[in-house]
Structure 1
Amino acid sequence: MFKSKTPKIFASKYATLCYSSAPSIVEATQFSHYLDPRFYLYELIKCKTPNQVKQVHAQITTNGLLKNQIVANKLLYIYCMHKSLDDSYALFCGLSEKNAVSWSVMIGGYAKNGDFINSLRIFRDYLRSGDRPDNYTLPFVIRVCRDTMDLKMGRLIHNVVYKCGLDSDDFVVAALVDMYSKCKVIGDAYQLFDKMPKRDLVTWTVMIGACTECGDPDEALSLFDRMREEGVVPDKVALVNVVNACAKIGAMHKAKVVHEYIARSKFSLDVILGTAMVDMYAKCGSVDVAREVFDGLREKNVITWSAMIGAYGYHGQGRNAIDMFPTMLRSRILPNKITFVSLLYACSHSGLVEEGKRLFNSMQKEYGVKPDIKHFTCMVDLLGRAGKIDESLQLIESMSVAKDEGIWGALLGACRIHGHVELAEKAAKSLIELQPQNPGHYVLLSNIYAKAGKWEDVAKIRELMSHQKLKKIPGWTWIEVDNKIHRFSVGDHTHPRSKEIYEKLNYMLKELEIAGYVPDTNFVLHDVDEELKLGNLFSHSEKLAIAFGLISTPEQSTIRIMKNLRVCGDCHTFCKFVSQVTSRVIVVRDANRFHHFKEGACSCGDYW
């Protein structure tokens, strides 16, 4: 009877079924002979619960459309999207035919739901099936290796790529570059990247981000220049990576160049890029410019506020950091864990003990933020720096959260400042148990022993390090001059202007001694004669970088340097005298914070 109806009437009814806000499956079955697969694809998209998916699944089976691979794959995907992996896998196993999309949906479905083991198991079954993976399936598996940071499996998948003849495929190689980058095997990532005949924006962005994360931000900025030279226009994601690279290297000139490019390209500073810019200027040594960018942002979230509070903190402006907190609350932005870490850090490095205690006690009571190990670490550091060692130890012993290397490191640092040898031994023992391969813990304990004149204990630590083949992390200092980064190590003679640098340094030392500078050989903690100690002190990387800055930058200009380790006490004193004698402002960024030296004084107030 239905066949006798005119095509026009049927078309109208079919349109009603497909495009009404809630077409009925029961009604649809009345016209099952006329419904094509598109109807069910539309129905699957509309499903909001696993039960609704099962209902559509039943109709698809009833109408014999499960043999249609497009419909079957869509059903697999929708099950995975609703996290019904058992239903998805049962359907997958029952399919008479599977194509590359079917396998990819299952591999990706398990991966997106965090079941990486089954994701790789499905891939193994795919290989055993005799089918050859294509450039659609392989990137899914490579991303699993990336997310799990499973380098061994990643290399095996790389071999499969070669066997499938896809080692020149842009999509596959881009995924491999991403995987090696996340696994921090930057050399392999770079090798693949350079061989790519065509690099898209995503691949450039991944490579720039990888160099930044793996400790080579200078190379990341060089890649940014290369990318633009090759005509690839960066988007906001790429620019965030570039801005982060500037922040890592602390290069003010490069930061300004990137900022000018962003302004010239008319990129709006949204909350993500804007927050990155605030962080960049703060870590390049200018908290004032960071505040200007912050004030100019139309939209700020809790991360933006926390970044600005943190900037004041590591620039030694603890009071400014605390004053921002009520302003943030008045802006109807509620604090989170990061906010309180920034606040407590600021209190710790400015000696604001009572303010820090008040904030710590208010976290959970007033704002519902439960303190975690990072907040306890900040409090231990705050109390320890202030000389409240016993109170600091009591807090550690009363903690309900598991103790990590950060908490013991903070206590060990406090022991170094105040010469508490016995407690230092306890903290160091706990640190070495947690991280036996970290040479920094052994070195710090060795320095504490040396400062106390316990040379036998120093010898034991050195012997232990030698037995475990541990080496002290080398200290490096960077300075940006003429848009180029120059790097120095202790006793460095590799710089092209090395002779001039040492001549300037020797001349400066004589001037500083006249002004009252007395080298503090306590910071060369080795049992060697005083003459050798002085030689070691005078060739510290900070001093070499500053001497280079004095001979290669205009008079009265600010000298900015960055060190990968904590600046030593003698170099701190040296910087104060240099700022006084030369009338230069010197900004030093070390592993912990910033020091701004001007007219013989430091912004830290010698509390660091």
Structure 2
Amino acid sequence: MGSREGRQVHGVVVKLGLLADLYVQNSLIRCYGACGDLSCAGKVFDEMVVRDVVSWNSLISGFMKAGHFDEAISVFFRMDVEPSIATLVSVLAACARNGNLCTGKGIHGVIERRFKVNLVLGNAMLDMYVKNGCFYEAKKMFDELPTRDIVSWTIMITGLVQSDHPKESLELFSMMRTLGISPDAIILTSVLSACASLGTLDFGTWVHEYINQRGIKWDIHTGTAIVDMYAKCGCIEMALQIFYSMPQRNTFTWNALLCGLAMHGLVHEALDLFEVMTISGVEPNEITFLAILTACCHSGLVDEGRKYFENMSKLYNLLPKLEHYGCMIDLFCRAGLLEEAVELARTMPMKPDMLIWGVLLNACTTVGNVELSHRIQDYILELDHDDSGVFVLLSNISAINQRWSNVTRLRRLMKDRGVKKAPGSSVIEVDGKAHEFVVGDISHLQTEEIYKVLNLINSVYHESH
């Protein structure tokens, strides 16, 4: 039913003299809310003499469906009746989607004081904390849930993947499997994305085999995740095989393969695939062009890069973002076209970020343009930022030019601003498990054996040289 039909029903209700009935009024609010006609829903609500919790829930639900999360929270605070579990679940969902952590925590406090936390409320609070990036609170809530269902696990695992915590998501997935809980397609799709991020091919292959063995039905999202995993792990042939076996593909599927090809230096294959994509009638998006420009950048294809960059807006009505400008500036710098790179940075519609300044600074040092290098360094130091990589780059350039006073000044600035250099790390997969090694970390259980092997390799290397 649409808004027009809803108004017709409303007119009939008035003619029949039923508008004063509470059940009818609540039904009209729900009807208008479902149609997205929040103006009429609000008018019915405001004209009600008596409202119950269903009235309030219906209006909140209407705002939620329309994506008006702030308004949904505002209605909640106006409530003059005791909220129900349905009310709290809706408002927690609003806090999750608009990032209102403060209100979400307040509702959590209300629930603990006045309600018994059941699975539905627990999952709603869990989702709120995860979507706000509060994984410590989310893990605490997850551990304290009296029972967990597949929704609880999905919220945690998917949330960790989407918030760039792939290693933790795989650990939680392994725990889930140990407890004998069977994952669904949504969880497996998220786990495949985590494998793609970490490059854990064995784990990703196991997930692929598990999906096939259990007869779990693929959808386009699962297929795209499998293509993405194989492509990012370097198994291009397998990625192509899955890609061409899929009955349906969307822009994200094409992007997954394009990004994998570009990442592994298969530039001409990526450009050819892009042409096939456009001929097939699939509309490219910003990610598509980022993959193509990255491929051009890594192979020094300046003319091709210029063409694709211009075609973004000319042919596809896509405005280049900071990342696209960054790719072009990097491409020009690698090709020795420093003046063109500087001009693009100067005229781009947004301010260059630290990565772009770093690329320009590196290029200045490579070609020996001392004057421009000093100007960029001075400009960077005027900016208030805490990127340790930029400070390290500036310090290294100053040391190469024997500007020792500048090196000392940079170190003092880092200390004053509280900037700490992030330790280097690497991830390796052994028997399907990802192991992360951080500089100076000796917490791994096999540290002693690892260092023995490293020392042996080191000594053999030096003996042979």
TM beyond 0.5? yes
Match of 2:39 in 1: 86
Residue 387 of structure 1 pairs with residue 336 of structure 2: yes
Structure 2 Cα separation of the partners of residues 253 and 138 of structure 1: 42
The one of 412, 425, 428 aligned to 1:479? 428
Matched letter for residue 65 of structure 1: L
Pairing partner for 1:105 from 34, 55, 58:
58
Q: Tell me the alpha carbon deviations over residues 207-237 of structure 1, each in whole angstroms, 9 at most, x when there is no partner.
A: 0012223443233223223334545433322
Is 2:23 the partner of 1:54?
A: no
Contact 2:234 2:260 in 1 (8 A): no
Distance 1:80 1:429 in 2: 56
State whether structure 2 residue 208 is matched by structure 1 residue 259: yes
Match of 1:454 in 2: 403
Structure 2 vs 1, CA of residues 64 and 411 (structure 1 numbering), >3 Å: closer, same or farther? farther
**Shift of residue 379, structure 1, vs aligned partner:** 0.7
* Aligned twin of 2:346: 397
Match of 1:103, as an amino acid?
W
Is 1:69 the counterpart of 2:22? The answer is yes
TM-fit CA distance, 1:325: 1.7
Q: Give unmatched runs, 5+ long, in structure 2.
A: none
Give RMSD over aligned pairs: 2.6
Distance 1:185 1:433, change over 3 A: farther
Residue in structure 2 matched with residue 120 of structure 1 by the alignment: 73
Cα offset, 1:473, TM superposition: 1.5
Question: 1:184 offset after TM fit, Å?
Answer: 1.0
Which residue in 1 is equivalent to 2:109?
A: 159
**What's the offset of the Cα at 1:175?**
0.8
Distance 1:281 1:412 in 2: 35
Please give the secondary structure, in 1, of the residue aligned with 2:395. Answer: helix
Alpha-carbon shift at residue 179 of structure 1 (Å): 0.8
Instruction: Give, as a single letter, the amino acid of the residue that structure 2 aligns with 1:225.
Output: S
Kept after mapping to 2: 8 A contact 1:432/1:438: no
The CA deviation at 1:423 is: 4.0
Shift, 1:113, TM fit: 3.1
Give how far 1:188 is off: 0.7
Correspondence for 1:272: 221
Q: 1:202 to 1:437 in 2, by over 3 A?
A: same
The alpha-carbon deviation at position 189 of structure 1 amounts to 0.5
One-letter amino acid of the counterpart of residue 259, structure 2: G
Cα pair distance change 1:55/1:424, threshold 3 Å = farther
- Aligned-partner Cα distance in 2 for 1:324–1:70: 58
Deviation at 1:277, TM superposition (A): 1.1
1:107–1:140: 8 Å Cα contact kept in structure 2? Answer: yes
Shift of 1:400: 3.7
1:363 to 312, 315, 328: 312
Assess, with a 3 A threshold, how the Cα gap between structure 1 residues 470 and 337 changes in structure 2: closer, same or farther: same
What is the SS of the residue equivalent to 1:349?
helix
- Quick one: which amino acid aligns to residue 113 of structure 1? A
User: Counterparts of 1:194-205 in structure 2 under 5 Å?
Assistant: 194-205=143-154
Once the two structures are overlaid, the 10-residue window that deviates more, 78-87 or 293-302, is 78-87
Match of 1:542 in 2: none
- Aligned pair in 2 of structure 1 residues 192, 496: CA closer, same or farther (>3 Å)? closer
Is the 8 Å Cα contact of residues 318 and 352 (structure 1) preserved in structure 2? no
1:165–1:359 CA distance, 2 compared to 1 (3 A): same
Distance 1:227 1:68, change over 3 A: farther
Tell me if the contact between 1:200 and 1:232 (Cα under 8 Å) persists in the aligned partners: no
Describe the SS at the equivalent of 1:488.
Answer: strand
Q: 2:252 maps to what in 1?
A: 303
Cα separation, 2, equivalents of 1:420 and 1:161: 63
1:303-362 deviation per Cα after TM superposition (whole angstroms, max 9, x unaligned): 211221111111122222112122223333232222111100111122222221222233
**C-alpha separation between the residues in 2 aligned to 1:464 and 1:56?**
69
Cα distance in 1 for residues equivalent to 2:28 and 2:44: 9
- In structure 1, stretches of 5+ residues that fail to align are 1-45, 517-608
Contact 2:358 2:393 in 1 (8 A): no
Deviation for aligned residue 1:465: 1.6
Contact 1:254 1:483 (C-alpha < 8 Å) held by counterparts: yes
Using a 3 Å threshold, how does the CA distance of structure 1 residues 137 and 267 change in structure 2: closer, same or farther? same
Please give the residue correspondences for 1:216-365 in structure 2 after superposition, counting only pairs within 5 Å.
216-365=165-314
Equivalent residue letter for 2:101: L
Check conservation: 1:341, 1:374, Cα contact below 8 A: yes
**Structure 1 stretch 379-388 or stretch 62-71: which is displaced more?**
62-71
The one-letter amino acid of 2:151's match is V
**Structure of greater Rg:** 1
Partner SS for 1:137: helix
Deviations 1:561-591 (A, max 9, x none): xxxxxxxxxxxxxxxxxxxxxxxxxxxxxxx
**TM-score, normalization by structure 2:** 0.91
Secondary structure at 1:132 match in 2: coil
Q: Distance in 1 between matches of 2:174 and 2:452?
A: 36
Mapped to 1, the partners of 2:192 and 2:97 lie a distance apart of: 24
Deviation (angstroms), 1:513: 4.3
2:56 partner amino acid? W
Q: Please tell me whether the aligned partners of residues 26 and 58 of structure 2 are also in contact (alpha carbons under 8 angstroms).
A: yes
- Are the aligned partners of 1:316 and 1:346 in contact in 2 as well (CA < 8 Å)? yes
Distance of aligned partners of 1:424 and 1:238 in 2 relative to their CA distance in 1, 3 Å threshold = farther
Aligned 8 A contact 2:70 2:94 in 1? no
**Which residue identity lines up with residue 77 of structure 2 in the other structure?**
R
Name the residue aligned to 1:465: 414
Paired residues of 2:70 and 2:98 also in contact (CA < 8 A): no
Residue 138 in 1 paired to residue 91 in 2?
A: no
Structure 1 position 105, deviation (Å): 2.1
Change (3 A) 1:98 1:426: farther
Contact preservation (8 Å) 1:253, 1:483: yes
| Counterpart in the other structure of 1:588 | none
